[in-house]
Amino acid sequence: MKIKVCGLKQPENIKAIAALQPDYVGFICYGRSPRYIDDLAASVLAELPVGIHKTGVFVNEDAETINFPIDKYGFDTIQLHGDESPEFAYAFKGKVNVIKAFGVDNDFNFDQLQAYAGKVDYFMFDTKTSAYGGSGKTFDWSILNNYKLDIPFFLSGGISPDNINEVKNITHPQFYAVDLNSRFETEPGVKDLEKLKNAFDIIRKQITNEIRS
């Protein structure tokens, strides 16, 4: 299982989180978010260790608006968190890894994902709300059993120190990564290092146990 920490924006906090060696770090390129990176210096991301995937998160932007920060910050992954079409997502595939996020509730129809097969690299399943992510709310993870495609997925939405242990109960073969965000913060965009250390330990211990078994 991979670990993504999303919603970083403060240089010193970014450096501290990078030292934990997450697999992905996410930067919100959406002006309405309290975690918006705004004018973050590109040099901050350039100093990240090799092997950490730098992920730009976008909501219903045009291609030019996405391509500019890809080039500026060296993003190797983008997360499309709005209503982007399969064709729009596919236009970036090959240049970067493409994660397409969906808000999930009890009525979510997984059949709609079929149109994205072959056009994205990953899905992300977040909690459906009136906003685009960062709600700190969970959805019923048992719904994931209805997902039948062979495209790996990230799990997002309300993962917290209180429920991180329950992640091990998700046994879906395409469960690829957890996305840690608002429930591991001291304020929007500033992550709590100790909470994340504990979460990383729990996840990595689980991975070790799976390998041994």
The set of catalytic residues is 6, 126
Token pair for 17: 């989180």
Query: What's the CA gap between 102 and 22, in Å, rounded?
Result: 22
- Give the SS3 label for residue 126: strand
Give just the sign of the alpha carbon dihedral 26, 28, 33, 35: positive
179 pairs with which residues across the strands? 4
Furthest CA-CA distance within the chain: 47
Tokens 């709600």 found at: 135
Q: Which amino acid is at 173?
A: P
DSSP classification of residue 96: B
